[in-house]
Structure 1
Amino acid sequence: MVDRKTGQSGHRPDDGPLPDLENPIDFDDPEAVEAELRRRELEEIARNFNPQRPLYPERHKVSQSVKKPLNRKGPANDGQDHSSRQSYQSDPRYKQFYDQVKKRPAANDYDAEVQPMSLDELEKAGWDGTPRPWDSTQGSAQPQPAPAPAPPRARTATIRNHPAQVQPPDVADAYEPGTIFSFDDGSVAIYKDAVSGKDYALFYFLEPHGVLAARGIFLEQYERTKIGKIPVPLLENMRANQRWDYDAIVFHLDSYELAQHVRRLGSPHAVTHTAHTRRAAPATASPTIAPQQPAPIAPEVETQPEVSPEPPAAAPREMLERGRVLKINVGGRIWESVYWTKDEIGPIVAHDTNKEWALMHLDLTRFKDALEYGDLLEPHDLGEIERSLARKV
């Protein structure tokens, strides 16, 4: 053993043979002497206790004279001393990179400025950022196959004597855009489409004098009969002009006998023709001016004082003010809405859809006895509806 104070070797015979040192110890270097002492102590501990696993397998290596060689299949020990290895954290390159990362400002994508984009650009770029295959700007996009031709539509039974003799049409055929319906109250409307998530559908009603009015009605409450179908482009043309054409409607009926439903709405000459059915008006003769004759003097008749009529009862229209709750019984279910305002088409009500309020046109005259007027909402309830509607604008 080596004396800690003098640094001289105090080897005794019972200590065993001295190990064959590859590198002699420099006794003038205190650190080398201290390292050799620690190594000797570890060898003694390993020799006396002989643990199954080395106490310090990585930090210190037991000499080959004490430790049995491992029976491993890998490459043999290179015999190099790795005690001088340093951690990667002490590498100046690592410190430089770590300092750059800490100085780099953290970028948050949620705080980035949103770039405005039109609906056409968004449709071309794709809602998820993936370009659509039908985008004309993409040269590599393959053309879409042509859709298969639709099978011919089966025509429904025609009306000969009375509208009640018509058989019910096919459901798939009756609810196509452009289908013309005749309702039980004598009105005629063109089906546009069903409102998503709602119980009503959008119709364009043929009003007198060629007026085309859009209304949302509940299909379960009215008896209807399919009498024809117009093309979708013609419907879009009428919708843009807000006028309907008598000749175009009659031409697309299932039979000419069904024109009686359209004649009830007024004379066809009062209807303004659209561009695709406009005909030249016949030339009228120049008017002749007749000589004026003196008007005959009417005999005097004693007039009786007019009796003022009794004031009418409070009409439901007087109850239509903003905030009035409207309850409509549709098929045994109560549908509630709030009256909001009125425009040239008709009354506008607000209805709750998934905890969000939305506005829609509603023809209140078609519900008759199924409509019940409720109470007025409080001012704070009206404020919540206004804020919900403002979020959608």
Structure 2
Amino acid sequence: MKQVIKERGSVYGNENSIDLLTNILETLSPTRIFILTDTNTAKYCLPYLLKRVTLLSNAKTLTFQEGEAHKTIETCSEIWNSLSQNGADRNSLLINLGGGVVTDLGGFVASTFKRGIEFINIPTSLLAMVDASVGGKNGVDLGVLKNQIGVIRNPYCVIIDVDFLNSLPKQQITSGFAEMLKHGLIHSEDYWTRVKRFPIANTSEAKELIWESIEIKNNVVEQDPEERGLRKTLNYGHTLGHAIESYFLKNQNKQALLHGEAIAVGMVLTTFISSELSAFPSTKLKEITEVILAHFPKQEFSKNDIEEIIKLLIYDKKNRNGKVLFVLLKGYGDHITDCEVPNALIHKAFDYYKNFEKNI
């Protein structure tokens, strides 16, 4: 079994990790156990968990509608009320079983109910395994604005079982793959080279790459837990990616994007900007763009779309004194934080993305 041991938030993965939950429950001895799921994980993942961990037979399941649109304070209020009505006290335990929406929201619910009850995360999507599993970020969206309300608090532990990935459609696997590609860009060309060949259709072969991605993020968080410098690099591609995700979510003429789909666009745009402002090699920019577009369908952006996306940048959490600040790269694993980018260059990046086929 793989493990990352920490004072709080230790991560256990791969073989027999789910069986460890029995020992953890016996150690915690909670007064009541609640399992938070969305409608998808209640159907596809909860039966597997209950079959493997008999101590959960009397747990109360709380379920909310799946999707980013339900990652709201209103959903939290419903869950807080359900906890209260079902006798939850300060010694109760909340197990968050699901993707990043479930673990983000569930962690926030647990961290605020009765000023904090214990919680365990069991991520069931690739995105949640390689991203939300580490860092202790819990929260909800404010309207369409991503992760504006929240707290940083690690769960008691995180259980990674890649068998849950068998329940996911390919689109969801690909969404998580975007974060693994990001880890390659900010960590090393060696990891990028290996992860770009990630066997999406055969996740059992990808266990080592998944675990390495978890370790990359954990190493960054351990060095900079308060996000004052190095941890900002985990937001590579997210400044524009989150704005794109929010814009597609609020625009009825657009099909909402999965998180990884929006971040994939953001990484292409940001790598182009890096080539213009920080001398990121143009040959590597071309290869990165080719790899990303091989997995993520190209999105269309009108001039008005781009202007509206740029307006949303003011809500990015890394901003300071009203300035929009980007993470840029000079090379693989060679980053610059707190970079200002002129709007004209953002437009130029969208032009590069739009016309890339013509340059091949």
Give yes or no for TM over 0.5.
no
- Higher helix proportion (structure 1 or 2): 2
* TM-score normalised per structure 2: 0.20
Per the normalisation by structure 1, the TM-score is 0.19
- Higher relative contact order (Cα pairs below 8 Å, separated by 6+ residues): 2
**Considering only CA atoms, is the larger Rg found in Structure 1 or Structure 2?**
1
